[in-house]
Structure 1
């Protein structure tokens, strides 16, 4: 079995995600993550405050002089972003009335986060009840997400790979005589079981094991690696045997 894993070719892998977690400051760095995947994983968020963007159909809040979108705009927003990706900073919030309660100091902090891509104190606000702050560059090579509850990290990781499996299954459903196959699902619990790996930086690689099962390989990477270079150096990283294999069934 070990020999087979070692000989897997690059083109046999279906999807890759790099993750490096900073538990102390409650954020994670990603490579291979898109805003579409993030919003699909948390489509129940009531609204998104756009701190840095170029979306033209957003609503405007007079108090903060900032723009925002609500749930029924998410699909249009991600479609627009896919067509012209730019540097992006957004955070969720519960109600526009809560935006009107932000103090000048809090509004200044939001602008600081959007400009510096970092927070000088906790970026979670009592009035907004936000769960996330999402930041990415124009090339989508590095994404940084602050999590109020790090349990949401596990939901996001499982969601990204389950989205891929679901989309892959839908693309082949037309050719099936019977479309009653139960889809493989990566459970949040399986991701959470191995959370200690993520603090040092890991490459997670998905491949198909057989007709119904997928394998998710986890490889620890050096701490001093540049996240934006990981996916460009996949061949080199995949030459190292996986530290862990999660069977997705």
Structure 2
């Protein structure tokens, strides 16, 4: 049975290591920008609804520069519907894109699929970010997959803080920061991410000393269902647990 989500807690992940893309639910653009080791300096907007942007006449795409991105990552999630972009180093490189490459970018934004490599020599891009509803169903291509684990680490930290501090809003000075889970620890779940997995904060168990978060696998439905639904997918098996020691501020990974 599905459970209606008013405020999504869990993180869903389906990874394709062959073409370096990751489909996620529960990870936002803000998580991405705060977690990625080398945030993009400029982004070429291949689908968007923003007003304050710069315009590139050669491609007819709009774009945002570094100063714009600092403001954008603080914006409400509702502004990120149909938010698709690719990063680039310099506008002069954008002006070198061929009509074929512009067409490929349009196809990426329209279908969420690549025709050729999504990493363009001319743009020197490290990412392609595709979403219709940011944080609910995102597809991101990473040139370096280590960057994904850094983003995931940020999202896990944020969601852990929400649970650990949910009853401490009256005593903010007593809040203790949550340790960031190491990327090497999260990589132990890679085999489950390849088939589709859920870091189920919705079913986390908290005691005085620990927070235990199950890693769910074997879904009855494809993760693509999350794109058009506001419901939680049900998993049939718990493969592992991600455990946070509240006293030691340490993360532990336990296989079932």
Mark yes or no: TM-score above 0.5: yes
Residues 40 and 196 of structure 1, relative CA distance in 2, 3 Å threshold: same
User: Could you say which residue in structure 1 is the equivalent of 2:12?
Assistant: 18
Could you list the runs of 5+ residues in structure 2 that have no partner in the other structure?
A: 245-249, 251-256
Is 2:245 aligned against 1:246? no
1:69-111: per-residue Cα shift (whole Å, max 9, x none)? 1222224324555244421211111222221222222222111
User: Could you say which residue in structure 2 is the equivalent of 1:104?
Assistant: 99
Residues 44 and 84 of structure 1, relative CA distance in 2, 3 Å threshold: closer
The CA deviation at 1:160 is: 1.0
Matches within 5 A, 1:14-163: 15-42=9-36, 44-80=39-75, 82-138=77-133, 141-163=136-158
2:128 and 2:141 map into 1 onto residues whose CA distance is 5
1:76 and 1:126 map into 2 onto residues whose CA distance is 28
SS in 1 for 2:178: coil
TM-score by length of 2: 0.78
1:108-160: per-residue Cα shift (whole Å, max 9, x none)? 21112112221111110112111111111247532111121222221221121
Residues 99 and 158 of structure 1, relative CA distance in 2, 3 Å threshold: same
Structure richer in helix, relative to its length = 1
Which structure exhibits the higher relative contact order, with contacts defined as CA atoms closer than 8 Å and separated by 6 or more residues? Answer: 1
Q: Contact 2:42–2:65 (CA<8 Å) still a contact in 1? A: yes
Q: Contact 1:32–1:231 (CA<8 Å) still a contact in 2? A: no
Could you list the runs of 5+ residues in structure 1 that have no partner in the other structure?
A: 1-9
Count the aligned residue pairs: 235
Structure richer in strand, relative to its length = 2
Q: Contact 2:29–2:134 (CA<8 Å) still a contact in 1? A: no
The CA deviation at 1:221 is: 2.3
1:47 and 1:18 map into 2 onto residues whose CA distance is 28
The CA deviation at 1:23 is: 1.8
Residues 53 and 21 of structure 1, relative CA distance in 2, 3 Å threshold: same
SS in 2 for 1:189: helix
Q: Contact 1:31–1:231 (CA<8 Å) still a contact in 2? A: no
